Structure 1
């Protein structure tokens, strides 16, 4: 994987405003720097602006303000150059794609090759197969994407994102279609890769307990604005859940992690 990055390569978001169709969804958002090796989860109810923020960071929505990765001004880059630094995994792959899993992962690497590391055809295939195996779908490498289940397609999409070895990996609900085994496998893999490479991972999740267990940091949003930002035990509180989700909850932190019990609606 790529070398460990310094804190000078942090992702900085300042005064970010973005939306679509003439509608502002995220308004003047500023976050503390996201550091290399961190796993950051975006939480919040529906329409909180999580996916819109993620797509703006991916260069897929127009945005104003500042988004910088180290010394790189991401908002000023053409999409092809932006993709060399940042990789986005959407909620689902396009339907009816007549490619095998291996072909799709190889295509992702060729579309956005790793800077300074020209690869031969054999090396590209080996890298793609290695990532497919790490994701846990080596047995599906020669299967067509159009023959996979929703969960299998989600894993293939993750392999496409990881093979590019991005500096920033953006994941939109990466475990929504997965069973418990693969949910755990994906979360362990994503955190391990962040630690190994210094990659910054920013993902949208809905499961509070999974986010609390596997994230270094939680960014809780509501109506496009920041509510809380910090380590899980500081960001996920009973008061925050009442304010944002309108639920009564008990939240307790101990040596085993953060325990969240939702008791009723408000």
Structure 2
């Protein structure tokens, strides 16, 4: 990851957070995350990835520093976070009786767009987001009648509609088939570039993370083990240390990184 002015981008320094007086994340510091970049947070189960994401969204208390373009977020009201950072959890809430279009419109009203927009303008914008995500055909379907993968795509549309400066995605492709995994990751990268967003995404598929990410952050037991480009962070040594596997890292004919697991350690 390239070096940038710490007054720009998202800068995380000395961050600690957890539950019931037990720290899960302890004094984490990361290289600055640049606008327009896609960064993947990887690591085994219980590494602290989702806990870190919630702290970066302002949804749980944390100590240390989270600064966006020089504006310190730690200690600020949730409204200050919400204007800048949008978080997509692993699953949508259950029991919501809205259709897909209504849910995206509701997300927009919760984080108003610039300008004095009419209800029709908001609805048209919501439809355009559904088209971009590729699910406009689901617009009138009730959320409760969708598959897990469809609900995941709707959740993505909701957060993209809010056009945040920082987009946090917690396992956004876990319920998707291969085609839709590819579509979502390509879309996320395109929008990061177009809108100068900072995107931080939790992924388990290391080859997917390597292909679509400008930078990788590998966590284990609440601590940062490796950061850098995919080639710098995802190595046989770090995979052995963090995941406990004997692995090889190679590249396909098109140059994309591939991770092959040979055995446990």
Q: Same fold (TM over 0.5)?
A: yes
| Superposed displacement of residue 8, structure 1 | 4.4
Cα deviations across residues 147-172 of structure 1 (Å, max 9, x unaligned)?
Answer: 10010000000000000000000000
Q: Does 1:224 align with 2:237?
A: no
Deviating more after overlay: 249-258 vs 46-55: 249-258
TM-score when scaled to structure 2? 0.95
Cα deviations across residues 122-157 of structure 1 (Å, max 9, x unaligned)?
Answer: 111111111111111100001000010010000000
Contact 1:91 1:174 in 2 (8 A): yes
Contact 2:6 2:70 in 1 (8 A): no
Matches within 5 A, 1:103-252: 103-114=102-113, 116-252=114-250
Counterpart Cα distance in 1 of 2:18 and 2:63: 10
- SS of the equivalent of 1:76 reads coil
Contact 1:233 1:253 in 2 (8 A): no
Counterpart Cα distance in 2 of 1:70 and 1:210: 28
Counterpart Cα distance in 2 of 1:21 and 1:62: 11
Contact 1:42 1:50 in 2 (8 A): yes
| Superposed displacement of residue 45, structure 1 | 0.5
Counterpart Cα distance in 2 of 1:186 and 1:139: 17
TM-score when scaled to structure 1? 0.95
| Superposed displacement of residue 74, structure 1 | 1.3
Unpaired segments ≥5 residues, structure 2: none
- SS of the equivalent of 2:31 reads strand
| Superposed displacement of residue 9, structure 1 | 3.3
| Structure 2 partner of 1:46 | 45
Counterpart Cα distance in 2 of 1:9 and 1:158: 26
Counterpart Cα distance in 2 of 1:48 and 1:7: 27
Aligned residues: 260
Contact 2:239 2:246 in 1 (8 A): yes
Unpaired segments ≥5 residues, structure 1: 1-5
Contact 2:6 2:32 in 1 (8 A): no
| Structure 1 partner of 2:36 | 37
| Structure 2 partner of 1:101 | 100
- Please report the RMSD computed on the Cα atoms of aligned residues, expressed in angstroms: 1.3
Counterpart Cα distance in 2 of 1:131 and 1:20: 36
Counterpart Cα distance in 1 of 2:76 and 2:132: 31
